[in-house]
Amino acid sequence: MHVINGKSLADEILLTLREANAAEGLAPCLAVIDVGENPDNKRYIGLKKKAADTVGGSVRLVSLGEETGGEELLAQIEALNQDDLVDGILLQLPLPAGLAVFQGEFLAAIVPPKDVDGFNPYNLGNLIGGEPLFVSCGALACLEVCRRYAGPLQDKRVLLIGDSYDVILPLAVTFIKEGCRLTVIPGYDPSYLKDKDIAVIEKGLPGLVAPEDVNPDTLLIDAGFYWYNGRTFGNVDCERMFAVPGYLLPVPGGMGPLLVAQLMINLSRAARRARKGI
């Protein structure tokens, strides 16, 4: 399989966005709320800050302690909702255990025009019945790859493996709207892969997908993330796939950079809408 360089694609997107923002004099501001001391969260926030700098924007980091209560977090979100200098708001996940059970409430508190993650129920619901202001960055990253490497999506045979609200569910709705022949299953089953043009595999185990499982010329998008001994792994072992015709968006170096690039697209769009007063 041809391994798609997600970082190269992301860099291309960010450069194009930087030029567009500069031409418009647009300097979008992303507020990131980080609760607790999760080291992975700190690392991901750093990547978002670097991307925002690249496109001529900025990140305002709001750091809250591990002991932060729900009312305090909601108050902070509301303050950012009302701040005209903030174009987009992102609640860094996962939250500490005491707050995680109320995650949906916190995400719903971010007003739709600043919900650049696309997690507010208004945006999620309008995927089905209307036009969402923003779609989740993970789903957009997958769609970007599909449109580049699979061509027109009409009548494509698509398999989604997983059940997440940020990738699989919005992708399912979008693929249906695009006229795809869609199959969605909750966990990995190789028998479903044999006749598919596109497969997004979020659930599984590190290196689980075998070359003999995959239909020739499939576009395979690995959306699984696993940490082991300081390294990141996906559901697909890239080295075992080289002899199979098709395309693979791998882990690492695939979904991660593209997700951040799509976040910058959403953020810039939010800033553009705010400037126009819509």
DSSP for 8-71 reads HHHHHHHHHHHHHHHHHT---EEEEEEES--HHHHHHHHHHHHHHHHTT-EEEEEEE-TT--HH
Query: CA-to-CA distance for 18 and 56, rounded, in angstroms?
Result: 6
Same fold across 24-111 and 137-257? yes
Three-state secondary-structure class, residue 213 = helix
Homologous superfamily (CATH) for 24-111: Leucine Dehydrogenase, chain A, domain 1 (3.40.50.10860)
> Residue 20's pLDDT is what?
98
What is the token pair recorded at 92?
A: 């860094």
Question: If we measure between CA atoms, which residue out of 86, 55, 110 comes closest to residue 270?
Answer: 86
Instruction: Average pLDDT across each block of 10 residues of the chain; the chain has 278 residues. List them in order.
Output: 95 98 98 95 96 98 96 98 98 96 97 97 90 95 96 96 94 95 96 94 91 91 86 87 92 94 98 91
Q: Can you give the pLDDT at residue 10?
A: 98
Domain with residues 137-257, CATH architecture: 3-Layer(aba) Sandwich (3.40)
Q: Is the pTM of this model over 0.85?
A: yes
Closest among 263, 268, 260 to 25, alpha carbons compared: 268
Q: What are 264's two structure tokens?
A: 């910058």
Tokens of 229: 């001994």
Cβ(224)–Cβ(234) below 8 Å: yes
Q: How far apart are the first and last CA of the chain?
A: 44
pLDDT at residue number 242: 86
Q: What's the confidence (pLDDT) of residue 192?
A: 94
CA 201, 202, 206, 207: dihedral to nearest 10 degrees?
10
Strand partners, 227: 232
Closest residue by Cα to residue 170 from 266, 276, 100, 38: 266
Each domain of the chain, given as residue ranges in start order, spans: 24-111, 137-257
Q: Nearest CA to 51 among 15, 76, 94, 23?
A: 15
| Tokens found for residue 98 | 């005491």
- Residue 238: its pLDDT value, please? 85
Q: What is the pLDDT of residue 237?
A: 85
Element (H, E) at 148: helix 137-149
Residue 221's DSSP bridge partners are 200, 249
pLDDT at position 227 is 81
